[in-house]
Structure 1
Amino acid sequence: MIVRILGEGQYDLDDHALDALNGLDTQIESAIEAGDEEMFRTALQGLLAAVRASGTHHDVDSLDESDLILPPPDVTIDEVRDLLGDDGLIPG
């Protein structure tokens, strides 16, 4: 699976990493529903850190399409609220 963090680049992750990412995505959704900026920021940073820690940098020269696109670390809670679908940031 190829995951892009906007403004940062792509990471290759094993499919089993998706379970951990989904847990963090659920925390982001809960924070947004509660309007809790601090919880949102913590959960988002955790999600992005998990992608960085679990993945390896994808070849910069590659034109491979990302399977999942995550917002940059400086995104606002309102911007993510607008991005969320029924499945959160991470489908599944």
Structure 2
Amino acid sequence: MIVRIMGEGQVRLDDTHLTELNELDDELLAEMESGDQDGFRRTLGALLHAVRRLGTPLPDASLEPSDLILPSADATLDEVRHLLGDDGLIPG
């Protein structure tokens, strides 16, 4: 799967990591719903760090379609709300 982090680029990520990412996504969704700004910031950072750690960066010139698009680390709670689907940022 190809994941784009807005403002950074794309990484190739094996589907086997979706469980770990979904756990962080569920935490992020709960923090957003409760308005926990500090928790939101911490969990968004952890989610992006996990994608970077587990994925393999694609060259900047690569133009592959992204399966997932994640917000940048400095995205606001309101900006992320606009990106959310029914399942959060990561379907499943």
Please name the residue that 1:15 is paired with.
Answer: 15
Corresponding position: 1:28 with 2:3: no
Look up the equivalent residue of 2:46 and give its one-letter code: G
Please name the residue that 1:52 is paired with.
Answer: 52
Unpaired stretches in structure 1, ≥5 consecutive residues: none
* 1:64-83 to 2 correspondences below 5 Å: 64-83=64-83
Residues 14-62 of structure 1 deviation map (CA, whole Å, 9 limit, x = unaligned)? 1101111000000110000100000000100000000000011112222
Quote the Cα distance in structure 1 between the aligned partners of 2:82 and 2:73.
Answer: 16
Look up the equivalent residue of 2:53 and give its one-letter code: A
Secondary structure of 1:50's partner?
helix
What RMSD, in angstroms, separates the aligned Cα atoms of the two structures?
Answer: 0.8
Quote the Cα distance in structure 2 between the aligned partners of 1:57 and 1:82.
Answer: 26
TM-score (norm 1): 0.96
Identity in percent: 59
User: After TM superposition, which residue ranges in structure 1, 4 or more long, deviate above 4 angstroms?
Assistant: none
Unpaired stretches in structure 2, ≥5 consecutive residues: none
The alignment of Structure 1 onto Structure 2 pairs a total of residues equal to 92
Please name the residue that 1:2 is paired with.
Answer: 2
TM-score (norm 2): 0.96
